């Protein structure tokens, strides 16, 4: 029996495109003599559909797509994922389901039992969990089919009271299939391989695992679909960050014949780079946009975003706007111009002095007798924001935000100024990661000017300003932020790790006081296990640790 794993890039709510992609794949694999094609979780609707699921028409369109796909399954079978109606009045109105379709009709429906409701997941908001489990019989094989989280209830602290496989194993299946929508984080591929391998060892069964690939606004799916033998050894691994279809012989997998050598693990930095490129590319493609703009300061953050945008969209589709202030150094302007030359993107220079001076003159009477302070610095940042949005409106550019995670965490940014934008490209990358990504981009030749990388970071909004005037060194700051945000440690626990008590309390207070700013930032491409945005929900007016 031959199984094709179809790792495809879907578009939420684009039923015509998703359905065509699935049917085309079925027809191709039918010609290849494949018996069963396996697609990912909620492939019909795209993942996550969120409150689209509250519209009855959306669910009807999912069903219509499934019926159309069924017509393409003569002499072949497929597994697809979609939301279906729960006919029982009690409980949630929908199930997250997988349909087994063969010979032109839906043969069996498998419902997801374990519904993740944590971090970026919110499935119990919409779906009723399954309570009944039954294997699928096809061509002399008994298949234990599960949906994503259904295989993740392992370890010393399980989230759920049941394991679907504990019930399915009673029917003595021959192998497992799991269809998933597992988002990318730089540490998640290794965790995913470990968990799935543990399932194979626990149940002594091979596993075929299919994941989504592609970006859906802030969520990025890295693909990396997997096949394991019953001993839990990795037999094959599909490509990362791109579509891939591979065919496997069930009998070979059951015999533990290694088909492909394990791919060399990409470094975290390389994975984040690939994820950000995919995130930008899909945000534009799926939104119907083509051209991007950004403010290019000569600093490392905007240089990185510009380089990523040029790689994702093509340099001809990127407009870098240099907006020097009266405090901008000559070398910053030169660094920005050198980057533009290296990348080949479009650029223009629009000094902000006249704009900022006009604000100062307008507010002269109200501010009479008061010393210049952060207010005037923010006016400069907001002047840049107004110019960038004007360029966006006039020419149809989509504005890329260039703030990093370190800045966003402690509120080192100006609302309606450098925080504005349609999508935050590096908002889930700490400053230390920004340096790593720039060095990765320069691994073969200098693209980002070396001076941009080595000079002290500065907002250049007052004379001789440096980030270190307001913030601890990023090497220290990022470590404390990581312990608090990703590891969810208290101030006492972080201090116990050897960090200065005054510094820790100061940083955590800055993080919590800046929550109101983060509520107004653009969506952030998620590359870490705990990103700002939908995956980290904090009260603005909370007192704890403030």
Give yes or no: residues 256 and 289 share one domain: no
Q: Do 378 and 281 belong to one domain?
A: yes
Binding site residue list for ATP: 295-302, 402
Omega cis (within 30) before 48: yes
Pairing of strands 141-147, 94-102: unpaired
Residue in the block written with tokens 């679907």: 164
Which tokens hold the place of 539?
């009260």
Q: How confident is the model at residue 462 (pLDDT cuts 50, 70, 90)?
A: low
The answer to whether 374 touches 382, Cβ cutoff 8 Å, is no
Binding-site entries for L-glutamine:
118, 182
Determine, yes or no, domain membership for 517.
no
Cα 38 to its chain centre, rounded Å, is 23
In a domain, 476, yes or no: no
197 and 110 fall within a common domain: yes
Query: Where does a domain end: 471, 503, 536?
Result: 471
Average pLDDT, the chain: 94
| CA–CA distance, 290 with 196 (Å, rounded to integer) | 38
58 and 150 assigned to the same domain: yes
CA distance 330 to 460: 11
* CATH number, domain with residue 151: 3.60.110.10
Residues 333 and 413 in one domain: yes
Q: What is the CATH number of the domain that holds 346?
A: 3.40.50.620
Strands 94-102 and 77-85: antiparallel
Residues annotated within a binding site: 118, 182, 295-302, 378, 402, 407, 517
Is residue 362 over pLDDT 90?
yes
Active-site positions read 41, 112, 148
Question: Tens of pLDDT along 373-426?
Answer: 999 999 999 999 999 999 999 999 999 999 999 999 999 999 999 999 999 999
The band of 456, judged by pLDDT with boundaries at 50, 70 and 90, is confident
How confident is the model at residue 155, as a pLDDT?
A: 82
Q: Would you say residue 492 lies in a domain?
A: no
Residues 194, 301: one domain?
no
Structure confidence at residue 461 as a pLDDT band (50, 70, 90):
low
Contacts 24+ apart (CB under 8 A), 57-64: 58/13, 59/83, 59/84, 59/85, 59/94, 61/15, 62/15, 64/15
Q: Say what the pLDDT of residue 157 is.
A: 83
Bigger pLDDT: 455 or 478? 478
313 in the same domain as 195: no
DSSP conformation letters of 29-58: HHHTT-SEEE--TTTTT-S--GGGGG-HHH
Residues 169 and 291 in one domain: no
Known binding-site residue numbers for deamido-NAD(+): 378, 407, 517
- What would the DSSP string read from start to end of 419-441? T--SEESSTTS-HHHHHHHHHHH
The residue out of 218, 235, 260 marking a domain boundary is: 260
Which of 182, 190, 260, 177 is closest to 222 using CA atoms? 182
Please say if the pLDDT value at position 73 is more than 60. yes
Radius of gyration of the chain (CA): 26
275 and 204 co-located in one domain: no
**pLDDT digits 0-9 by tens, 287-337:** 999 999 999 999 999 999 999 999 999 999 999 999 998 877 667 899 999
**Residue 541 is assigned to a structural domain of this protein:** no
What is the mean predicted confidence (pLDDT) over 339-366? Answer: 96
- Residue 426 structural domain: 271-471
| Within a domain: 488 | no
Q: What is the rounded CA–CA span in Å between residue 523 and residue 491? A: 28
- pLDDT tens for residues 3-46? 999 999 999 999 999 999 999 999 999 999 999 999 999 999 99
């Amino acid at each position: 029996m031959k199984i094709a794993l179809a790792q495809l890039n879907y578009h939420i709510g684009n039923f015509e495109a998703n359905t065509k992609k699935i049917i085309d794949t079925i027809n191709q694999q039918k010609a290849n003599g494949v018996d069963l094609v396996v697609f990912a979780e909620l492939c019909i609707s795209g993942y996550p559909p969120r409150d689209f699921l509250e519209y009855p028409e959306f669910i009807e369109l999912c069903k219509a797509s499934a019926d159309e796909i069924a017509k393409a399954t003569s002499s072949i079978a497929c597994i697809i994922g979609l939301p279906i109606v729960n006919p029982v009045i009690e409980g949630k109105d929908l199930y997250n389901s997988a349909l087994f379709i063969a010979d032109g009709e839906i043969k069996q429906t498998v419902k997801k039992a374990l519904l993740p409701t944590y971090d970026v997941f919110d499935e119990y908001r919409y779906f009723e969990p399954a309570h009944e489990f039954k294997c699928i019989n096809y061509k002399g094989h008994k298949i234990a089919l599960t949906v994503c989280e259904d295989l993740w209830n392992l370890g010393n602290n399980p989230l759920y009271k049941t394991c679907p496989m504990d019930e399915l194993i009673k029917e003595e299946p021959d192998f497992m299939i799991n269809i998933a929508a597992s988002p990318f984080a730089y540490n998640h591929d290794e965790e995913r391989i470990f968990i799935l391998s543990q399932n194979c060892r626990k149940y002594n069964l091979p596993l075929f695992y299919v994941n989504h690939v592609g970006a859906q606004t802030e969520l990025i799916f890295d693909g990396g679909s997997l096949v394991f033998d019953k001993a839990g050894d990795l037999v094959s691994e599909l490509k990362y960050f791109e579509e891939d279809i591979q065919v496997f012989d069930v009998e070979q997998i059951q015999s533990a014949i290694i088909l492909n050598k394990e791919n060399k693990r990409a470094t975290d930095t390389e994975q984040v780079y690939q994820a950000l490129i995919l995130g930008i590319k899909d945000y534009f493609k799926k939104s119907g946009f083509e051209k991007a703009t950004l403010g290019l300061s000569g600093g490392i953050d905007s240089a990185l975003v510009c380089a990523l945008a040029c790689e994702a969209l093509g340099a001809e589709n990127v407009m870098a706007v240099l907006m020097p202030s009266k405090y901008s150094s000559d070398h910053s302007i030169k660094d920005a111009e050198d980057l533009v030359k290296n990348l080949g993107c479009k650029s223009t220079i629009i000094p902000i002095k006249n704009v900022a001076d006009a604000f100062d003159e307008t507010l002269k009477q109200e501010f009479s007798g008061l010393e210049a302070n952060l207010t005037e610095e923010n006016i400069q940042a907001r002047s840049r924001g107004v110019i960038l949005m004007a360029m966006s409106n006039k020419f149809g550019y989509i504005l890329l935000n260039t703030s990093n995670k370190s800045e966003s965490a402690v509120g080192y940014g100006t609302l309606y100024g450098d925080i504005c934008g349609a999508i935050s490209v590096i908002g889930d990358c700490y400053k230390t990661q920004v340096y790593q990504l720039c060095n990765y981009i320069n691994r073969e030749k200098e693209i980002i000017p070396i001076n941009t990388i080595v000079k002290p970071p500065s907002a250049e909004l007052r004379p001789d300003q440096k980030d270190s005037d307001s913030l601890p060194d990023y090497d220290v700051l990022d470590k404390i932020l990581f312990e608090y945000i990703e590891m969810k440690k208290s101030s006492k626990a972080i201090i116990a790790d050897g960090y200065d008590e005054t510094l820790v309390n100061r940083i955590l207070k800055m993080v919590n006081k800046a929550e109101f700013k983060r509520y107004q930032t653009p969506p952030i491409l998620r590359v870490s296990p705990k990103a700002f945005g939908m995956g980290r929900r904090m009260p603005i007016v909370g007192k704890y640790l403030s």
